[in-house]
Amino acid sequence: MKSFFRVIALFAALASPAHGLQKPSSSAFTPALKVRGGVSAGDAAHFGTLGLNAMVGVPATLAPEKFFEGNFPGDAWPTFWNKCSPEARNQLMIMTRFFGSAVSVVGVLQHFSRGVIDDSVYFSILAGSQIWFALLQFCFAAPISVAPKTNYIYGAINVVIAALAIMARTA
């Protein structure tokens, strides 16, 4: 468990501001920050996270049954669902709606906070949250999931968005 916290501390240090050091006037990463078509790493991180929030939050809030069907390939969801008691099913649907609503609200807050807070702070928060979600997917969800491939896919998306946010922080 100690090494887990060291990994978190390392990622937090990588995503944190330069601790009072002056930022260089030009970054060696600047040419790499423009993705094909003129989209910056910051734009890709921002809109990638918004897209992920919309793809997860809205369906989980409005149609949790369909949300799970889409995230559990083949017979994994019906098999799991049939093992649950009616009380467990109701609780799962309630908690999924709460989760979906929270993710949707975070997406709205994220959309309006960009440009209001300093980019280094904004992209540090974005990178840290995506790293945290990736760790949750890889270390906690996938090992016990009935569909671990889904967790690995979401975790990989989180890693890509985190990398883009870190790149945007250094711009």
The gap from C-alpha 13 to its chain's centroid, in whole angstroms, comes to: 19
Q: What is the pTM of this model?
A: 0.74
pLDDT of residue 52: 93
pLDDT of residue 146: 84
Please give the Cα distance from 25 to 170 (Å, whole number).
11
The residue ranking higher by pLDDT, 142 or 16, is 142
pLDDT of residue 19: 45
Mean pLDDT of 88-110: 96
- Closest by CA position to 40, among listed 116, 119, 104: 119
- The string of pLDDT tens digits covering residues 23-60 is 444 454 445 555 566 788 999 999 999 999 999 999 99
% of the chain residues with pLDDT over 90: 64
Mean pLDDT of 112-123: 93
Mean pLDDT of 113-142: 96
pLDDT of residue 56: 94
pLDDT of residue 39: 83
Contact, 56 vs 137, CB < 8 A?
no
Please give the Cα distance from 151 to 134 (Å, whole number).
9
Q: Where are the domains of the chain?
A: 34-58+100-169
